[in-house]
């Protein structure tokens, strides 16, 4: 895998952070092993790395496309790398390129922040969906690893949980590896620039949608679970027709969750 080099770097980084975040297993009520209840291990991080490596080729091209777009917009390399490193949200970064300008007013900055929040609002629900898992870990650790929480992470974490996994290291390892690759590939794209003029032609815009669609298979729990999904899909379609932007994700998902919440009342 060509992503080997940056990944090795990530692991060292992740391991040190992990040690800093939780210096030692916290003493808890006797008879309750904290390691078993809320594990975060090196092995888990390696597993996360393996799981995320499948997504790497797509992510690399996505990041290259963003780097190229940023260069074309006249952003400096530092600004471009900072955006990838600090925002770390591909779709919102590409949308920001549409709104990027040479001169900034406070109003324009606030507007960009609001657009970014709407594009990334799906993260609110993705975080909520995995919160029962995160609740077993300290606030500091959660505040740290959530910085690296993305669509890819959420997909990996959700699938891993569905298979009965409990090791948060999987999410941390995947998130850190992806972050390093994302930032490095952004620089690459900034340098290559003109080479990726039309990412659409290679289907780059479909990378995340494909992973999302593929997720349906491991999430499948028989026909009973489908009704909330259908509601989510229909509400999202209608919302997308009525409003520009990405509000459809959060509106549709909430509709599906609410349907699921009240469905089993009258069996």
Partner 1 sequence: MTIPDPGTWGAMLAILAMALATYLCRISGVALMSIIPLTPHVRRGLAALPGSIVVATVLPLIERLGVAAGIALLVALLTMILRRSELLALLTGMAAISALRAFGF
Contact positions with partner 1 (CB under 8 A) in 127-146? 127-132, 134-135, 142-143, 146
Residue 79: exposed, middle, or buried by beta-carbon count in 10 A (0-12, 13-18, 19+)?
middle
Q: How far is CA 164 from the centre of its chain?
A: 21
Using rule CB under 8 A, residue 215 touches partner 1: yes
* Region near partner 1 per CB under 8 A, out of 25-33, 34-42, 188-196, 200-208: 200-208
- What is the x/- site pattern for partner 1, positions 12-51, by CB under 8 A? ----------------------------------------
Using rule CB under 8 A, residue 258 touches partner 1: yes
For residue 130, the minimal CB distance to partner 1 (Å) is 8
* Region near partner 1 per CB under 8 A, out of 5-13, 28-36, 74-82, 186-194: 74-82
Site for partner 1, residues 94 to 123, rule: CB under 8 A? 96, 103-106, 108-110, 112-114, 116-117, 120-123
What is the Cα–Cα distance from 134 to 146, expressed in whole angstroms?
A: 10
For residue 37, the minimal CB distance to partner 1 (Å) is 17
Residues 6+ apart with CB under 8 A from 70: 79, 80, 83, 97, 100, 186, 189, 190
| Residue among 20, 37, 192, 219 that touches partner 1 (CB under 8 A) | 219
| Residue among 13, 50, 79, 193 that touches partner 1 (CB under 8 A) | 79
Using rule CB under 8 A, residue 256 touches partner 1: yes
**Look-up of token digits 């729990």:** 221
Tokens of 126: 């993705």
Using rule CB under 8 A, residue 257 touches partner 1: yes
Check: CB of residue 216 under 8 Å from CB of residue 38.
Answer: no
What's phi and psi for 217, nearest 5 deg? -65, -55
Q: Count the helix, strand and coil residues of the chain and give each as a percent rounded to the nearest 5.
A: 75, 0, 25
Using rule CB under 8 A, residue 253 touches partner 1: yes
């Amino acid at each position: 895998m060509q992503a080997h080099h940056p990944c090795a770097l990530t692991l060292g980084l992740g391991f040190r952070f992990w040690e800093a975040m939780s210096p030692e297993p916290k003493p808890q009520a006797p008879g309750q092993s904290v390691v078993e209840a809320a594990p975060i291990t090196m092995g888990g991080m390696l597993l996360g790395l393996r799981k995320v490596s499948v997504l790497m080729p797509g992510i690399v091209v996505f990041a290259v496309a963003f780097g190229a777009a940023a260069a074309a917009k006249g952003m400096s390399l530092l600004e471009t790398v900072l955006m990838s490193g600090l925002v770390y949200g591909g779709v919102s970064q590409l949308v920001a390129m549409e709104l990027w300008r040479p001169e900034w007013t406070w109003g324009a900055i606030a507007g960009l922040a609001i657009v970014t929040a709407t594009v990334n609002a799906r993260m609110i629900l993705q975080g909520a969906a995995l919160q029962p898992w995160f609740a077993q870990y300290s606030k500091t650790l959660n505040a740290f690893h959530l910085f690296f929480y993305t669509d890819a992470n959420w997909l990996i974490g959700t699938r891993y949980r569905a298979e009965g996994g409990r090791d948060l290291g999987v999410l941390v390892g995947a998130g850190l590896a992806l972050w390093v690759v994302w930032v490095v590939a952004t620089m690459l794209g900034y340098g290559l620039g003109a080479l990726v003029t039309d990412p659409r032609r290679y289907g780059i815009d479909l990378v995340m949608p494909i992973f999302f669609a593929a997720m349906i298979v491991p999430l499948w729990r028989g026909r009973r679970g489908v009704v909330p999904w259908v509601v989510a899909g229909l509400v999202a379609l209608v919302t997308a027709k009525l409003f520009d932007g990405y509000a459809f994700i959060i509106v549709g998902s909430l509709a599906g969750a609410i349907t699921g919440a009240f469905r089993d009342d009258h069996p």
